[in-house]
Chains A and B, each alone.
Chain A
């Protein structure tokens, strides 16, 4: 297993290099540059050349790329081209924790609601509770967070006035660079974005848990366990549950990708200064270094996430061996 993990980590290095190269080339291919306008007017040619020389944008493309990679290896993500006085490291250090907190809260919510709901629905198979849970789950999968966000704002923010409708409740500096200070303000602000993003996750987790548990409950070894006279709770929790979570683990990969898309939308709707919002807002300003760096951060996140999913998979199903 350790060998497998090390090999996967080594294999991800060329992948990251390829992602950086592809994004770098793609961004450079975009017509227009960061220094086209100053205010609302076109920037004078001479000024533009000076600025481009200042940031090394006048050099050949391959030289720029190697320079970028060289800086990257030293932990420098590059300068910001339009917001001077800050560099990409600052922006990522401020916004990555916000996106991660939102993502982690949503995933936790998804599993906290999804797994119990799925178990209950499976145990009460073909009863009213099961039908209601299944229906709510399909509804939860189907309502896009693009719609759920404004809906929550409207109901709980505008009409009931329970939760603040915008902004994240924790500001940098974060504890250990990642964790927010768990103030009341933080939780109040976090409720609506978390639900907007986590509802879909909990719905799909519930569906898969239900299907997986139903599948497992009809297996022979469960009959054996019951025949031995074990208590129902022991049968479910000790014997059935772990196996029934295997299908749930399979969607964790796609879930991570969906989470990325989700944070883009939710950050936009709730005006959270996360990575996605910076990405969208800086596309039109051609912040070359920021765009490449954010894509790389996402790529790294996906790689680590998928590796984690594979490890989970092996833990849940000991028949799976990676060698």
Chain B
């Protein structure tokens, strides 16, 4: 690997070998992992689908067509005259797209394709927001705990130990029931009212963010603490102390950049869990508010009529599986790329 520079040549900026950061190294390694890159590309594609969902779906996710309930895939759509004006793709009238159900329709005559496309919005938002929230809380909590050490560390870690024994899902369920009951009561004034209003506009996702993010940072905080402990007594931290850097500066400028890599990877690998928990909550009727489509909810609506209309389960189920698969591929790729032990082993 060593690049030899002829000794008689004067060394200048251009011939000196540029250093590469560990991040760049990892990125080069990651790019060589074809499956991981495919996962990343697919996730970016799905994010675009979520953003441009109206362009990708011929109907609205809540548009009902009572003439065509439980239509099989690739069957004709009976166009009602009052719906004809809605049938366009970014302004261009769209005859063909509005005459066929690509993947059929559900019990209420809503186009399954459109609902699946809109369903990406819930899953992707949960994946991004819940992981960010749990990464933020977890890494800050763990870093502070590990950095402070002594009694504070002991106390903070006892709390984490306690949370480890708490069954999370029943608590999330209870929280969701509580939030939903609050929303039904219709509190209008004050901070609670504002939050409930925002949640209604987001189709019930805000409460999911809170419930998922608030309870999933525990593992992250333990990992962050472990990382901090391994860096805390290194020379560069001591040097920062010597020149009088404040604690918060040391934590955020010196420690955080060093420990963030492994945490990010762990968080990526945790994302399928969030998507899955959301699907489970929607499945048992405690997720997003109808008619906002969520894949878990679509599966729960569909599996009642599994025998006669399997596509109602298979389509959202396939979407859920493929997205999870993409996140797992990407997470595995990132983990391998950041692990120097695995370099050059292939």
Contact = CB atoms under 8 A, between A and B. Distances in A.
Given A31-B181, A144-B321, A295-B167, A261 B277 contact: yes
Nearest to A138: B328
A146 B279 contact: yes
Contacts of B280: 146, 261, 264-265
Given A142-B272, A144-B279, A279-B170, A299 B165 contact: yes
Interface in B145-185: 161-162, 164-171, 173-175, 177-178, 181-182, 184-185
A146 B306 contact: no
A15 B162 contact: yes
Interface stretch (A22-30, A87-95, A114-122): A22-30
Interface string B305-320: 0110010011001101
Contacts of A303: 165
Interface stretch (A46-54, A149-157, A235-243, A315-323): A149-157
Interface string B256-283: 0000000000000000110011011001
Interface in A274-323: 279-280, 283-284, 291, 294-295, 298-299, 301-303, 306
B262 to A, nearest CB: 15
A84 to B, nearest CB: 23
A306 B222 CA distance: 16
Interface in A103-155: 138-139, 141-144, 146-147, 150-151, 153-154
A32 B185 CA distance: 10
A294 B174 contact: no
A144 B324 contact: yes
Given A257-B168, A264-B284, A299-B166, A143 B321 contact: yes
Most A CB contacts (10 A, CB to CB) among B284, B296, B314 go to B284
B219 interface: yes
A269 B320 contact: no
B177 A284 contact: yes
Contacts of B310: 154, 158
Given A144-B321, A147-B299, A265-B280, A153 B173 contact: no
Contact of B173 (A31, A32, A154, A279): A279
A18 interface: yes
Interface in B312-338: 313-314, 317-318, 320-321, 324-325, 328-329, 332
Contacts of A191: none
Contacts of B273: 258
Most B CB contacts (10 A, CB to CB) among A18, A264, A294 go to A264
Interface residues of A, number: 49
Contact of B167 (A30, A139, A269, A302): A302
A146 B320 contact: yes
Given A15-B165, A30-B178, A283-B173, A142 B321 contact: yes
A19 interface: yes
A150 B303 contact: yes
A210 to B, nearest CB: 12
A141 B177 CA distance: 29
A92 to B, nearest CB: 14
Contacts of B306: 150, 153-154, 158
Contacts of A264: 169, 280, 284
Contacts of A16: 165
Interface of A: 12, 15-16, 18-19, 22-23, 26-27, 29-32, 138-139, 141-144, 146-147, 150-151, 153-154, 158, 253-254, 257-258, 260-261, 264-265, 268-269, 279-280, 283-284, 291, 294-295, 298-299, 301-303, 306
Interface of B: 161-162, 164-171, 173-175, 177-178, 181-182, 184-185, 219, 272-273, 276-277, 279-280, 283-284, 296, 299, 302-303, 306-307, 310, 313-314, 317-318, 320-321, 324-325, 328-329, 332
10 contacts: A15-B161, A15-B165, A144-B321, A146-B317, A147-B317, A147-B320, A150-B317, A151-B317, A153-B303, A299-B167
